Amino acid sequence: MKLLSGNSNRVLAGAIAAHLDMPLTKAQVKRFADNEVFAMIEENVRGEDVFVIQSTSYPANDNLMELLILTDALVRASAKRITAVVPYFGYARQDRKTDGRTPISAKLVANLITRAGADRVLTMDLHAGQIQGFFDIPTDNLLATPVLAQDIKENYPRDNLMIISPDVGGVVRARSLAKRLDADLAIVDKRRPKAGESEVMNIIGDVEGRRCILFDDIVDSGGTLVNAAKALMDKGATEVSAYISHGVLSGPAVQRVADGPLKELVITDSIEQPDEVLKCPKIRRVSVAPLIGEAIRRIANEESVSKLFD
């Protein structure tokens, strides 16, 4: 097999390659003068099982186009099988019609990846499970929960621990983590007046005197997390931390985390972060390279991927 990387997360791609003890395939992915994407694979891939590692994070459109163009290049170079490895799947929050005359962008992106020539998709912590069904090709949705649960075990005392879902929609995800840690579960009841804004209405569960960990899949502007942390502290929590799969961290998110009541924010390296995030003392990263690398190895060897979560 061969590993190929776009420009969205070269650090993670290198870590995955190191885990698998194999080099990244040589390729050029750059821009023309008018910012169009140019790609050229500099090694023979005929008959190869190729894994294209590319998150569709900011700038989402550029990174998505790189993924599509690299996939097309592999199809035309007669690769045997092409797996799109998308650690962070952009446009996933637009997974249904929430109002009249709105798109289902997650389905559109799934169609684009399929039509470009991908034979399989490997992603992690999709915003909604039904997005797997948007693809007409085999799709594996890895869970970062085991990696994050292990980090919690290593860094937090187990007594008095409580896992918090920041909204009703994330209860299943939070319950899974709570079960692994044998911890209690509470829920933040919030409403969202409009996209990008949230308001905490109530806390479902007794958090007084508890060490709380908010658990979710995406942190974008950071407003929901900071508001939830404030509400938990007001209800008597001794401390509040957050574990999030994908650190989008746009706009004032880093400043909100730095100035807010969160003890720390732990994210994975599914998205390559700017210096502003890397230098923030309250933000820590956990690598999912071993998880993704092992999944790639299992797919290449036709072994079970679901065994990773037993």
Q: Please, what sign has the CA dihedral across residues 270, 141, 6, 58?
A: negative
**95 belongs to an annotated ligand binding site:** no
pLDDT value, residue 98: 84
**130 belongs to an annotated ligand binding site:** no
Residue 69, pLDDT > 90, answer: yes
Average pLDDT of the segment spanning 204-226? 95
pLDDT value, residue 200: 67
**127 belongs to an annotated ligand binding site:** yes
Most confident range (mean pLDDT) of 48-57, 123-132, 216-225 is 48-57
Q: And the tokens for 18?
A: 């190191």
What percentage of residues in the chain have a pLDDT greater than 90?
Answer: 89
Residue 9, pLDDT > 80, answer: yes
The answer to whether 233 and 240 are in contact (CB under 8 A) is yes
3-state secondary structure 202-239: EEECCCCCCEEEEEEEEECCCHHHHHHHHHHHHCCCCE
What percentage of residues in the chain have a pLDDT greater than 70?
Answer: 96
CA angle (287, 290, 293) in 5-degree steps: 125
Worst-scoring range by mean pLDDT, 36-40, 132-136, 197-201? 197-201
Nearest to 158 by CA among 120, 135, 137, 184: 184
**35 belongs to an annotated ligand binding site:** yes
Burial 263-299, CB ≥16 within 10 A → b, else e? ebbbbbbbbbbeeebeebebbebbbbbebbbbbbebb
**21 belongs to an annotated ligand binding site:** no
Pairing assessment for the beta strands 184-191 and 199-204 based on DSSP bridges: antiparallel
**14 belongs to an annotated ligand binding site:** no
Question: CA torsion angle for 289, 294, 297, 299 (degrees, to 10)?
Answer: -110
pTM of the predicted structure, to 2 decimals: 0.94
Q: And the tokens for 139?
A: 């799709």
Question: From CA 191, how far away is CA 160, in angstroms rounded?
Answer: 28
pLDDT tens column, 100-124: 999 999 999 999 999 999 999 999 9
Residue 135, pLDDT > 90, answer: yes
Pairing assessment for the beta strands 37-41 and 283-286 based on DSSP bridges: unpaired
**57 belongs to an annotated ligand binding site:** no
First and final CA of the chain: distance in angstroms?
Answer: 26
pLDDT value, residue 99: 86
Q: Strand pairing partners for 120?
A: 83
Q: Is-same-fold flag (2-143+290-309; 145-287)?
A: yes
The answer to whether 91 and 56 are in contact (CB under 8 A) is yes
Nearest to 271 by CA among 286, 256, 257, 252: 286
Contacts of 294 (CB under 8 A, 6+ apart): 19, 308
φ, ψ for residue 190, nearest 5 deg: -130, 165
**93 belongs to an annotated ligand binding site:** yes
Mean pLDDT of the chain: 95
- Alpha carbons within 13 angstroms on the beta-carbon side of residue 278 total 6
Catalytic residue ranges: 190
Structural domain spans, the chain: 2-143+290-309, 145-287
pLDDT value, residue 198: 61
pLDDT value, residue 167: 86
pLDDT value, residue 129: 87
* Peptide bond connecting 59 to the previous residue in cis, omega within 30 degrees of 0: yes
Nearest to 244 by CA among 255, 253, 235, 231: 253
pLDDT value, residue 171: 93
Residues in the chain: 310
Average pLDDT of the segment spanning 86-105? 94
pLDDT tens column, 156-213: 998 899 999 998 889 999 999 999 999 999 999 877 666 656 666 689 999 999 999 9
Helix (H) or strand (E) holding 89: none
Question: From CA 197, how far away is CA 211, in angstroms rounded?
Answer: 26
pLDDT value, residue 196: 56
Question: From CA 106, how far away is CA 130, in angstroms rounded?
Answer: 10
Average pLDDT of the segment spanning 219-242? 94
**CATH number for domain 145-287, candidates 2.70.98.60, 3.40.50.2000, 1.10.760.10, 3.40.50.2020:** 3.40.50.2020
pLDDT tens column, 246-293: 999 999 999 999 999 999 999 999 999 999 999 999 999 999 999 999
Residue 49, pLDDT > 90, answer: yes
Domain 2-143+290-309 is of which CATH architecture?
A: 3-Layer(aba) Sandwich (3.40)
pLDDT value, residue 158: 87
Q: Strand pairing partners for 81?
A: 49
Residue 58, pLDDT > 80, answer: yes
